[in-house]
Chain A
Amino acid sequence: MGEIAVQFKHISMEFPGVLANDDITLDIRKGEVFALVGENGAGKSTLMNILYGINTPTNGEVFIRGKKVEHFDPGVAISLGVGMVHQHFMLVPSFTVAQNIVLSREPKKMGVFFDNKGAEKETEKLVKTYGLTVEPSAVVQEISVGLQQRVEILKTLYRGADILILDEPTAVLTPQETDELFAVIRKIVREHGMTVIIITHKLYEVMQISDRVGVMRKGKLVGVENTSDMDERKLASLMVGRPVLYENLDKEDDIGDEQIRVDDLVVGDNRGLVAVDGVSLSVRSGEILGIAAVEGNGQSELLEAITGMRKIESGSVTIRGRQINGMDPGAIRGIGLAHIPEDRISTGVCADASVSDNLLMGKERNPEFNTLGIAQNNAAIRKYASEIYEKFDIRGAGIDVNVGSMSGGNMQKVVVAREFSFDAPVLIISQPTRGVDVGAIEFIHEQIIQQRNEGAAILLSSADLDEVFRLSDRIITLYEGKVTGEFKASEITKEEIGYFMTGKRETEAAHE
């Protein structure tokens, strides 16, 4: 059925101490949308980086349209028609759209000079051909993430790509932008005969967009199927290697007193501009309030203000009846607040300290862990750390290794374990499972729900809408620092909430 666009033959890729790709043989057909799924570290990106010439495989061969790749180099891959849109965009922020698109293949005038008009004309031509609208003279750092992604796709098309690799393209998009992207993918496949390989975590997207799907686990390709023969549950089991119970989080309905109260809060961002603009909210014990917002709309600053990490400009935050304005993070924790920060590496852990030190942090002054407040009691600390390590199913080389050497998922478990072991009545949770694999996500979600059922008041922010929906009792949407809507999680869909995340208010939506 159809021609073969890309052939991987017995590809192995070994990094020092890790076999990232283990004897992979795979055909990608011309004109199909092929989804590549797998947990973090399963080797998807490694395999695609081989195709794009960034990695040179230890073993095996790659054929592009029947032609063997002799030399692995992005320049060679590009000339063979391979284009890749990376997860983190490869755009120069201070250049215009057109200048980014033609980079490395610039039109010239008088033999030596960059032809800016020519570049803009080329861009216009691409825009017309593929129906991907962008403004050629706009500066990249001033346009939205969704548009930046279009620029990335146009860039590959300008270089003549007909095999397009998209690495987690929807991670930064709103549901509407995702729909638009998928429409574009369908269009370029149908009308221009492109071959698209899409790497993703999100299984419903696999079902939505792909013709075939390949599942990777621990460096091996464990299955290639027609998407129509699969469903999300089967895919999840293949990815993890065991059945995943993806539903039925037991939520008990026992909502108590108000624990978090935010009134008309105004907070600035790092540049001194208003990031949180008059937000009010309230969370009671035994419930989870989820924040749905596209990144950069004030959710990070809101949570930092509540946890004392950012200055409150005006308004007030009350935790368990005490106003915390002007208090430092340590004092706020003293009232009974624990916090999983959004960036585990910079604020969640001390990467150069051991697992046991990281698990202890915040409790080191407790009498049981020291003698007269001077010498630490190592035996007690080790015992405590080992218990927590077991309880939270952290998998690594024990409690004595540096946290920095652990995988992202286990590092996150260390943060979750430490914070949840305070048994705090108030929990502020940000991006609990960012970059964490399916198995660990399941575990962390269960832990969050358990805290809720035990009576914690939880404020949750996540870039993953599915996660917000799965965990929350109520959801608020934030747009440009303002609350644009508040809903019961059971009474709204992801598509509907997307409108509020892009700035529509409840009242406006009601008119439509």
Chain B
Amino acid sequence: MNDFGLLFNTVFSTGLFNEMLRRATPVAIAAIGGALTQHAGIMNIGMDGMILMGAFFGVLGSSIFGSAWAGLGLAVLVGVLVGLFFGLFVVKFKSDEFIIGTALNTFAVGLTSFLSRSIFGTQGAKGYPSLPNVTIPGFDKVPVLGAILNGHSLFVYLTWLLVLLFYLYIYRTPQGFWLRASGEKPQTLRTAGIAPERMKWTASILCGVLCCIAGAHLSLGYLNGTFAEKMSNSRGYIAFACVIFAASNPAKAYLAALMFGFFDAIGLRLQAYISSDLTSIIPYAITIIMMTYVVVSTRKKREKIHRRADI
């Protein structure tokens, strides 16, 4: 009993929630991008590759120019290019988005591993200039909240801004309505005089940029200027699950990412007691539970609509 109490206290500390926020952020930024492509009617399975590219080119920029900001800039530039590449095949050539996304993921692993070994050697990149942490003086004295919220890397906070910004864009601007129409009923938008492809291109490029920012945050903020091969570690797929779970709403996707971060952090803490192979299952088990929830709730929603239509 005493042992359990000790375990409980070690696992459920403020550190857990601090860790949750930390772990949720890269997933959340990518999920905002995924929400955009999902609204545009594109099933974007290539986010993992996009994150990986952002992570590598972020570090590369940081190492070349000696500044994390330059690294972030390079990642954004690569994000535009990756978005254009994705858009070229999916929007322009109308290729199968699943194939293109998978190809992008495989390509990203190959390209970043190759470049990393040629430039940084087999050890990978370590210790290049990283993005700043934000510490508000005095805030760490605030009980609980201070320990959870203070002292994170910059993008942990900027993500809140991004969520708000893209929430407003999607649901409160005319362009957001066009974006959603381009995915739900593209012909409608076309006959209204706006080419749906225009919105699909926009979504692809913004998604590329956001995923690459997520990657740059991962290598330059989360891990302080480090690149390791395959370091995206399926975060792109988790982000995709968040998008589906949130019905492409960036605010809900952020909450979903927090949930992943939470279980991920618990898993990390339990590693002291349980085999890490078992704890690493947790995020994926959560994915399955989430998707089950999505299926059940959409069915209920449809029934509700149907009942209302009856009246």
Contacts and interface: CB of A to CB of B under 8 A. Distances in A.
Interface string A84-123: 1010101111110001100110101000111000000000
Nearest to B192: A104
A52 B188 CA distance: 14
B173 A114 contact: yes
B296 interface: no
Contacts of B192: 74, 78, 90, 103-104
Contacts of A141: 305
A104 B193 contact: yes
Contacts of B189: 103-104
B172 A480 contact: no
Nearest to B188: A90
Interface residues of B, number: 27
Contacts of B173: 112-114
B254 interface: no
A39 to B, nearest CB: 24
A271 interface: yes
B297 interface: no
A142 B188 contact: no
B94 interface: no
B200 to A, nearest CB: 15
Contacts of B310: 480
Contacts of A106: 174, 177
B181 interface: yes
B122 to A, nearest CB: 50
A113 B191 CA distance: 23
B294 to A, nearest CB: 16
A273 B302 CA distance: 10
Contacts of A86: 187, 191
A167 to B, nearest CB: 11
Contact of A74 (B185, B191, B308): B191
A93 B305 CA distance: 12
Interface string A264-283: 00000001110000000000
Interface of A is mostly: loop
Interface in B153-206: 168, 172-174, 176-178, 180-181, 184-185, 187-194
B302 A271 contact: yes
A93 B176 contact: no
A101 B306 CA distance: 23
A142 B309 contact: yes
B303 interface: yes
Nearest to B172: A113
A75 interface: yes
Given A74-B191, A84-B191, A273-B303, A114 B177 contact: yes
Contacts of B190: 74
A512 to B, nearest CB: 24
A402 B256 CA distance: 49
A75 B190 CA distance: 9
Of A52, A75, A86, most B-chain CB atoms within 10 Å: A75
Nearest to B302: A271
Interface centre among B173, B193, B302, B308, by most chain A C-beta atoms within 10 angstroms, is B193
A104 B174 CA distance: 8
B185 A92 contact: yes
B299 interface: yes
A142 B302 contact: no
B181 A142 contact: no
Interface centre among B178, B185, B190, B306, by most chain A C-beta atoms within 10 angstroms, is B185
Given A74-B193, A78-B193, A91 B174 contact: no
Contacts of A75: 193-194
B63 to A, nearest CB: 39
Nearest to A113: B172
Nearest to A116: B172
A91 B188 contact: yes
B185 A93 contact: yes
B177 A103 contact: yes
Interface string A138-152: 000110000000000
A94 B193 contact: no
A480 B309 CA distance: 11
Interface string A35-67: 000000000000000001010000000000000
B306 A92 contact: no
Contacts of A480: 310
Contacts of B180: 92, 94-95
Contacts of B176: 114
B306 A273 contact: yes
A140 B189 CA distance: 15
Contacts of B177: 95, 99, 103, 106, 114
Contacts of A94: 180, 184
27 contacts: A73-B193, A74-B191, A74-B192, A75-B194, A84-B191, A90-B185, A90-B187, A90-B188, A91-B185, A92-B188, A94-B180, A95-B181, A99-B177, A103-B181, A103-B188, A104-B178, A106-B174, A108-B174, A112-B173, A113-B173, A114-B172, A114-B173, A142-B308, A142-B309, A271-B299, A272-B303, A273-B306
Question: Top 5 nearest A-B pairs by Cβ distance?
Answer: A75-B193, A104-B192, A106-B174, A90-B188, A90-B191
Given A93-B184, A100-B188, A103-B188, 11 more contacts: A74-B190, A88-B187, A90-B192, A99-B177, A103-B192, A104-B189, A106-B174, A113-B172, A114-B174, A271-B302, A480-B310
